[in-house]
Amino acid sequence: GENVEQHPSTLSVQEGDSAVIKCTYSDSASNYFPWYKQELGKRPQLIIDIRSNVGEKKDQRIAVTLNKTAKHFSLHITETQPEDSAVYFCAASKGGKLIFGQGTELSVKP
Amino acid sequence: GAVVSQHPSRVICKSGTSVKIECRSLDFQATTMFWYRQFPKKSLMLMATSNEGSKATYEQGVEKDKFLINHASLTLSTLTVTSAHPEDSSFYICSARQEVDTEAFFGQGTRLTVV
C-alpha cells in the first residue's frame, strides 16, 4: 500500500524567511497530493493541492512542486508570518485512500 | 468550504462499554468518508475508508470487530468502538469528500477517554 514520509518533523524559522517541507510517496499510481494545515485545537484545513499531471502550483505565498519520477513533492512557504505556525501534513491519494505523512510542526518566530 | 460535523467532541466511557461517533457532511453528499486516529500533536493514522452503501476497507492492523464503521447514507458515517479499553483512548477524526481525489473536509474530531 501507499506510504508517505514527511520531513522534517519540526521546523523553526524567523519571520520573513522561507520554509520548505518535503514528502516522498511509495505508490507511483498516486495522482493527487494535498497539503493540510492544522492549527492547535482545530481541524486540518486544505491549503493547496496538486495533481500528477502538473509539476508546480502556486497560491500567493504558498507553492507546491511535484517530481513524479522521484516520487516526491514539497511545500514552499515564502515570507513566513507568525500565523503560519501550525502543523502541516502532506498526503497522497490513489483512487480511494488518502494517506498522510507524519506531519511537520512549523514555528515562525517574530 | 464544505462542512463536516462530528459528534460527540468529547466522550468518557468505562472500560468494556461501546461508544458511537457520528460524522455528518452537512452540505454535500460524501461518497467516501475516512476515519483517522490522531496521536498527540501529530500524525493522522488512517483506520478505514468507507464508501456509501458498501463495507468499509480497514487498514492493516486495525481490528474490524473492534472498530465498526457504517456508512449507510451519503451524509452519515459512524464509528463504534466496541468493548473499549484504556489503550483505545485517543483522538478520532473523520473526513469526507464528494469525489475521488478531491478535497477532503475534516470533522472537528472526538476525544475518547476510556477509564
Q: pLDDT tens across B63-112, in order?
A: 999 999 998 899 999 999 999 999 999 999 999 999 888 899 999 999 99
The CA distance from B49 to the nearest CA of chain A, in Å, is: 7
When the pLDDT of each residue in chain A is averaged and rounded to a whole number, the result is: 95
Per-residue confidence at B48, pLDDT binned at 50, 70, 90?
A: very high
Using CB atoms, pick whichever of A46, A100, A103 lies closest to residue B103: A46
Per-residue pLDDT at B20: 98
Q: Are A68 and A30 in contact (CB under 8 A)?
A: no
**How does pLDDT run across A25-46, given as a tens digit for each residue?**
999 999 999 999 999 889 999 9
**How does pLDDT run across A7-24, given as a tens digit for each residue?**
999 999 999 999 999 999
Mean of the pLDDT values across residues B29-44?
Answer: 88
Q: Decide the pairing of beta strands A32-38 and A86-94.
A: antiparallel
Report the distance separating Cα B87 and Cα B58, nearest Å.
19
Question: Is the CB of B60 inside 8 Å of chain A's CB atoms?
Answer: yes
Record: contact B95-A98, CB cut-off 8 A: yes
The CA distance from A11 to the nearest CA of chain B, in Å, is: 14
Of B81, B59, B68, the residue nearest B8 (C-alpha)? B81
Per-residue pLDDT at A54: 87
Q: Decide the pairing of beta strands A10-14 and A104-109.
A: parallel
The CA distance from B16 to the nearest CA of chain A, in Å, is: 28
Question: Is the CB of B78 inside 8 Å of chain A's CB atoms?
Answer: no
Per-residue pLDDT at A69: 94
Question: Is the CB of B106 inside 8 Å of chain A's CB atoms?
Answer: yes
Q: Is pLDDT of B19 > 80?
A: yes
Per-residue pLDDT at B72: 82
Greater confidence (A14 vs A95) lies with A14
Residue bearing cell 465498526: B68
SS (H, E, C) chain A: CCCEEEECCEEEEECCCCEEEEEEECCCCCCEEEEEEECCCCCCEEEEEEECCCCEEEECCEEEEEECCCCEEEEEECCCCHHHCEEEEEEEEECCEEEECCCEEEEEEC
